[in-house]
Amino acid sequence: MELRDSVALVTGGAEGIGRAIAEALTNEGCSVTITGRREDAIRSTAEELGLDWIVGDVGNEEDAARTVSSVIKKHGRLDILVNNAGYGLFKPLIDTTFEELQGVYRTNVFGPFLMAREAARQFIEQGSGEMINISSTSGLKGSAGRTAYGSSKFALRGMTECWRDELRRHNVRVMLVNPSEVMTNFAAKAGVEREPSDKKLRAEEIAKAILGALKIDSRGFIPEFSVFATNPF
């Protein structure tokens, strides 16, 4: 697709992978809006990068509808939705509370569902659209301590497959991206301390991979891809 002058909405765009994607799309000439729950962080990033911003919780139905409709109202269309908002929780099964599981699912599963539903209505009406769902390699293989996070990404992968089959007949491309470990604040926020490493991925590399997928002519697309560090050891 031609990215210049496209209208994009990136959830969780204040930092990390979301910020890198928003910046990369802006550099390609897109009109980008970022959204997130923390007004100070969203505003700061938006002002620094010259983006539009909306405060909202993707897991809240009213916020999701308001966010998408606000972008469409301003631009008259929506071309790209990046479902990036999400967080991790890494605990043994026996120590994970029901409330913690619900919290992860609210953001990582229900959030993408609500945003995708609202965006899909516009995509179907205009006969085109790009949906990028940011998952994780944790959604490809279960592992100890990842009951909440890993299963939420398995769920996102399943929903992506359903949306892809449903929306492609409307010329809508639905893609899933599975980053491996990326050097952002994601792990620290989940309570996991990791040493910085020059061998591991950066958010900018995920953004570049997504740009490459979007630039493929719209007659075809990459349904799903993973991004691993070459030699992180």
Residue in this structure with the two tokens 């010259």, named with its chain if needed: 50
pTM, entire model: 0.95
Average pLDDT over residues 150-156: 98
Confidence tier at 188 by pLDDT (50, 70, 90)? low
CATH top-level class of 7-227? alpha beta
- Sheet containing 129-134: order of strands: 52-55, 31-36, 7-11, 80-83, 129-134, 172-179, 224-227
For the chain, the domains span 7-227
Catalytic one of 53, 90, 113, 149: 149
149 flagged as catalytic: yes
**What's the start-to-end Cα distance of the chain, in Å?**
37
Q: Write down the mean pLDDT value for the chain.
A: 96
Whether residue 190 is predicted with pLDDT greater than 90 in this model: the reply is no
Tens of pLDDT along 100-119?
Answer: 999 999 999 999 999 999 99
Whether residue 186 is predicted with pLDDT greater than 80 in this model: the reply is no
Whether residue 194 is predicted with pLDDT greater than 80 in this model: the reply is no
137 burial via Cβ count (<10 Å: 0-12, 13-18, 19+): middle
HSE-up of residue 170 (Cα within 13 Å, Cβ side): 20
HSE-up of residue 141 (Cα within 13 Å, Cβ side): 4
Q: Is 29 helix (H, G, I), strand (E, B) or coil?
A: coil
pLDDT confidence of residue 187: 64
Whether residue 185 is predicted with pLDDT greater than 90 in this model: the reply is no
Average pLDDT over residues 80-105: 97
